[in-house]
């Protein structure tokens, strides 16, 4: 081993001192041997970002003031600036619970304009599938409404759900449902590429309170040879059951014909007023909330008028199930003219109040 000279020893001491000085001079953030302190963040729920997104999410509902159904359909759909049906086979659900005059049932002008609009948007194929309520057989209701003639004219298919075979249904059992053992649902809707609905604006005197877009789904559940309608109409949870049917599907487009409305009675006959409005959107909860606000603006039943709109049983249960918006603040009403916008101001105020 070589001996360390005095000169080498002093040189080493000097180098060590210089290194110590330089290390002390390096900023702490650049020293690899030291970990930067962890930032102190405020305590927040784990899913707060998701909740924030949901709270800020808005559903667009187009509103057109009109008494012209054909123009109202075209304008309201155009205001949405979306095309969910292009290149798809569409199954269309109208309101043919009966053959009564609109709003007792879907107006032929509304159906015509909607089919033509969907065809113009590039729908590959259109099928109208429906069953009627108690009273006339579905086929007779459709004949009285002129549906078969219209289907031939515009080249769309008609399916009478009352004549469907056992294999044409699927059994739906929603989780935590008020239904005893779920319900049967049409396979044509369960397997549809795209679903479009058109509903009316009216009250319901037999426990539903109002029949708008969500109540329309009752016509998807079989009546003849089944006990589902007895279960529905005898249940104290009828309005919750209505909302739960809607868990079986998700519509791409809903058009509400509110040119005329029943503010009392319904669903077949009632106190008729001209509301002069057409709505379009894809959120059933939002459509029904706006529909209830319009009924309130016209003067309607105590059942539809009382409480906050989002405390109405159909709407509250649907919002709870995640079928649409959870509050009026999440509804964005869009219009295309001054008259419609002025009317929207009234409806927005009612939505905020209730």
Question: Each residue's pLDDT tens digit in the chain (354 positions)?
Answer: 444 444 454 454 444 444 344 344 433 333 333 333 333 333 333 333 334 444 556 899 999 999 999 999 999 999 999 999 999 999 999 999 999 999 999 999 999 999 999 999 999 999 999 999 998 999 999 999 999 999 999 999 999 999 999 999 999 999 999 999 999 999 999 999 999 999 999 999 999 999 999 999 999 999 999 999 999 999 999 999 999 999 999 999 999 999 999 999 999 999 999 999 999 999 999 999 999 999 999 999 999 999 999 999 999 999 999 999 999 999 999 999 999 999 999 999 999 987
Domain housing 102: 61-353
User: Is 136 part of any domain?
Assistant: yes
User: Is 7 part of any domain?
Assistant: no
Residue 276's nearest CA partner among 61, 112, 60, 76 is: 76
User: Is 21 part of any domain?
Assistant: no
Number of domains in the chain: 1
C-alpha torsion 238→226→133→230, nearest 10: -30
User: Is 55 part of any domain?
Assistant: no
User: Is 44 part of any domain?
Assistant: no
Q: Are 206 and 268 in contact (CB under 8 A)?
A: no
Task: Give the CATH number for residue 160.
Answer: 3.40.50.11440
Q: Are 121 and 115 in contact (CB under 8 A)?
A: no
Tokens 């808005």 -> residue: 58
User: Is 13 part of any domain?
Assistant: no
User: Is 18 part of any domain?
Assistant: no
Contacts of 162 (CB under 8 A, 6+ apart): 131, 132, 137, 138, 139, 222, 223, 224
Tokens 């319900």 -> residue: 183
User: Is 189 part of any domain?
Assistant: yes
- The C-alpha atoms of residue 140 and residue 137 are separated, in whole angstroms, by 5
């Amino acid at each position: 081993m070589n001996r360390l000279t005095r000169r080498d020893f002093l040189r080493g001491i000097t180098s060590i001192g210089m290194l110590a000085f330089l290390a002390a001079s390096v900023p702490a953030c650049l020293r690899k041997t030291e970990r930067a302190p962890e930032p102190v963040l405020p305590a927040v729920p784990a899913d707060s970002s998701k909740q924030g997104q949901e709270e800020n999410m808005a559903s667009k509902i187009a509103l057109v003031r009109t008494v012209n159904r054909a123009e109202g359909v075209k304008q309201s759909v155009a205001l949405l600036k979306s095309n969910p049906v292009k290149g798809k086979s569409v199954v269309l659900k109208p309101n043919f619970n009966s053959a009564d005059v609109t709003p007792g049932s879907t107006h032929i002008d509304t159906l015509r304009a909607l089919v033509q609009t969907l065809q113009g948007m590039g729908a590959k194929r259109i099928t109208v599938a429906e069953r009627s309520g108690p009273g006339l057989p579905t086929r007779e209701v459709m004949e009285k409404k002129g549906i078969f003639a219209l289907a031939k004219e515009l080249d769309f298919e008609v399916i009478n759900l009352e004549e469907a075979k056992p294999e044409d249904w699927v059994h739906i059992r929603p989780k935590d449902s008020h239904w005893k053992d779920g319900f049967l649902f049409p396979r044509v809707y369960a397997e549809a590429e795209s679903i479009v609905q058109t509903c009316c604006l009216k009250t319901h005197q037999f426990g539903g309170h109002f029949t708008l877009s969500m109540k329309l789904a009752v016509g998807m559940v079989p009546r003849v040879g089944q006990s589902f309608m007895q279960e529905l109409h005898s249940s104290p949870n009828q309005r919750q059951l209505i909302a739960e049917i809607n868990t079986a599907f998700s519509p791409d487009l809903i058009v509400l014909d509110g040119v005329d409305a029943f503010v009392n009675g319904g669903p077949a006959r009632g106190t008729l007023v001209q509301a002069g409005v057409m709505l379009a959107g894809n959120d059933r909860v939002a459509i029904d909330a706006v529909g209830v606000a319009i009924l309130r603006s016209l003067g309607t039943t105590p059942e539809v008028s009382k409480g906050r709109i989002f405390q109405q049983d159909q709407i509250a249960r649907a919002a709870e199930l995640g079928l649409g918006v959870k509050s009026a603040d999440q509804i964005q009403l869009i219009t295309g003219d001054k008259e419609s916008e002025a009317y929207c101001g009234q409806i927005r105020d009612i939505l905020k109040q209730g």
